Chain A
Amino acid sequence: MEQHNGSPAGTRLWRPAAQRRVRNAWSSMFAEHTAWVSASAKGLSVANALVNALLSERYLPTLDLGALHDMVNIREKAHLKLLHQQEGYFDQLLEIYQDLVKIICRMTEASKSMRTYVKGPINRPLVEFSSDQKLDGDFGDGGGAVIFSTLSLQSFERLAEELVAMFVSELNVKRLLISEMHSAVLSSELKRQFQLDKIEPCESSANLMKSIDSKNICFPKTLNSAAASKNLNILPERDSSTQLSREILQVYLVAWLAEVQIDKCRIHELQELITEEMAVSQKRTP
């Protein structure tokens, strides 16, 4: 301690470097928050579309088709198309989820990047700082010194942890929702496969696929019966009776929208607190 941060010169040199790091860390954390908000909103609209496709497919057998009733295989084709849509929406949703994961990774990284360690002995003319610990007894926190006007590095880290924790638990909720959507999509595919195998010989379903393929709609690989039956074992058992009800799907969408784990007021508070803290110090050290 004594050889670097403890000394007045050490702290004096350490502070600007730490200020820079803390400032960067928080600005990237808040930027990730903005990125989260837009990715999550995109996810909501995709999830909405997915749920609509699931429900339309579910109600298709009882749907009154009116004048279209006599068209050959109309229900079959509609069914396949809806399955295809579900696949597409689910892929999009998965992509968005991956984006969310990346956002949280970057946020976590930023939240842990505030510690500023002294590089090399303090008595050299040029003191350098790094993000890695180089000296024993240097915790990168300037010995608990105030960085801007009132908060120490530990306080900044605690606030950052609080922020990140909210997003991590919301990400967990979203992961649950996605896995539920996944099994819903897969089970409707499997049910379809099962029905086809039972009612008609496989070739007719292959023909249907082909006829739709020829209209430039290509099916994802998982629709192939081989792949689907391979997935059979790892699927949670879900027949029509344990199918996700309309209400459950609605609650899932609301849960995605409301982001219960993220306290928006608190985030706003944090934003104000941090900005104020940094602004005051700027006024003091012109």
Chain B
Amino acid sequence: MERLLKKYEQKYKRVKEHLVDWKALQEQLLNLSSNACSILDRLQVLSERENFGVLKDVENIVRDLPAKQVESLECIFQSMNKTLVELEKVSKSIEKSWHDGCNLLRAERPQPTLQQAQQRIGSRPSLNDCLDGLKALYTMHHDEYKLKVDIVSSLSYTLSSSDLTALQTILAEQPNIPPDEVQHIFDLVLGGDS
């Protein structure tokens, strides 16, 4: 049993590394989306000739400036989609850790009884705790990934600036990943040294 718990600890340490990647990608995504939102926000201003002041007389600039902004916007969208692909990879890796965890338990001989799987010794987690934690971590990140895909695909020229701010906030908040709960899962399995 102890040997199996050690193996689960390994899995959790791996997942922890994945979460570091997730955090970096999340930051990247936030940067990109705030850039995208500020461009979307100013396109309205850029579409009116009166707002160009003295630049009105510069050849083509009234047409080229919004065009160039749209071009940068498209670039940002592309990078956002790339970041989403990376986030999906992280969520898949966590899923794999969970599946591997399930297989570990299934392959164990003699097969642990239900009671053994639920048994907690001292402050140590039970085998089921380990598996449930992995599953919860996977579900959180998978749901969050799906939410992010929805948010990114809903960014468009027609949104008002208050909508844009709201979407930004949701993107930053990551409602599917409560940090307390994540910490709790790690504390349970890895103990104080997590």
Contact = CB atoms under 8 A, between A and B. Distances in A.
A258 B52 CA distance: 14
B161 interface: no
A278 interface: no
Contact of B46 (A172, A177, A254): A254
Given A258-B65, A258-B69, A176 B42 contact: no
B170 interface: no
Contacts of A44: none
A4 B48 CA distance: 61
A251 interface: yes
B45 A252 contact: no
Interface stretch (B16-24, B53-61, B102-110, B185-193): B53-61
30 contacts: A172-B58, A173-B55, A173-B61, A176-B54, A176-B55, A177-B54, A177-B55, A179-B54, A244-B53, A247-B45, A248-B51, A248-B52, A248-B53, A250-B51, A251-B42, A251-B45, A251-B46, A251-B51, A251-B65, A252-B53, A252-B55, A254-B42, A254-B46, A254-B65, A254-B69, A258-B65, A258-B68, A258-B69, A260-B64, A260-B65
A76 interface: no
A100 to B, nearest CB: 17
B53 A251 contact: yes
Q: Chain A contact residues (Cβ within 8 angstroms of B): what range?
A: 10 to 19
Contacts of B60: 260
Interface string B58-93: 101100110011001000000000000000000000
A254 B68 CA distance: 10
By secondary structure, the A interface counts as: helix
A179 B57 CA distance: 14
Contacts of B45: 247, 250-251
A180 B57 CA distance: 14
B58 A173 contact: yes
A255 interface: yes
B69 A255 contact: no
Interface string A230-265: 000000000000001101101110110010100000
B46 to A, nearest CB: 6
Nearest to A247: B51
A61 B155 CA distance: 37
Which of A177, A180, A245, A255 neighbours the largest number of chain B CB atoms within 10 Å of its CB?
A255
Interface string A166-198: 000000110011011000000000000000000
A165 to B, nearest CB: 13
B42 A180 contact: no
Given A247-B45, A250-B45, A260 B61 contact: yes
A241 to B, nearest CB: 14
Interface in A134-183: 172-173, 176-177, 179-180
A125 to B, nearest CB: 55
Nearest to A265: B71
A255 B55 contact: yes
B55 A251 contact: yes
B61 A255 contact: yes
Contacts of A254: 42, 46, 65, 69
Nearest to A262: B68
